[in-house]
């Protein structure tokens, strides 16, 4: 699943480490999601969307591979 986390991170001037800390996951998890190697759980998907204040489908594009 393709996503735009990296774009949103850049817009909010956030490092992977900082985002991971705020979401309660490891930096490797954020990295893996950005690279499309790992699809986050529904819970983490909602957390990410709410963190950036946008809807899920603004960040995640279903059906596309990274």
Partner 1 sequence: MKQNTFYILAGIVGLIEVGLFYLSVEYRNPMLITGAFIIGVLLLYAAQRRITDRQVDERAALITQKAGVTTFTVFWVVFFATSLGSAVMGLGAPGFPHSSPPPKGGPGVLNVSLNSPDAGPGIPDAGAGVPNDGLIRLGYFGYIQLALLFLMFFLYVGFRIYYARKYGEWETDEEQD
Q: Is the dihedral of CA 1, 8, 23, 16 positive or negative?
A: positive
3-state secondary structure of 59: helix
Binding to partner 1 by residue 1, rule CB under 8 A? no
* Residue 29 or 52 having the CB closest to partner 1: 29
Residue 63 is encoded by which pair of tokens? Answer: 């059906």
Rg (CA), the chain: 11
Count interface residues toward partner 1 (CB under 8 A). Answer: 20
Binding to partner 1 by residue 3, rule CB under 8 A? no
Q: List binders of partner 1 among 6-65 (CB under 8 A).
A: 15-17, 24-29, 31-35, 37-38, 40-41, 43-44
């Amino acid at each position: 699943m393709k996503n735009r986390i990296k774009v949103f991170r850049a817009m909010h001037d956030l490092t992977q480490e900082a985002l991971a800390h705020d979401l309660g996951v490891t930096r490797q998890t954020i990295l893996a999601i950005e690279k499309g190697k790992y699809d986050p759980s529904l819970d983490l998907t909602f957390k990410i969307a709410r963190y950036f204040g946008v809807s899920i489908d603004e960040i995640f594009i279903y059906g596309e591979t990274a």
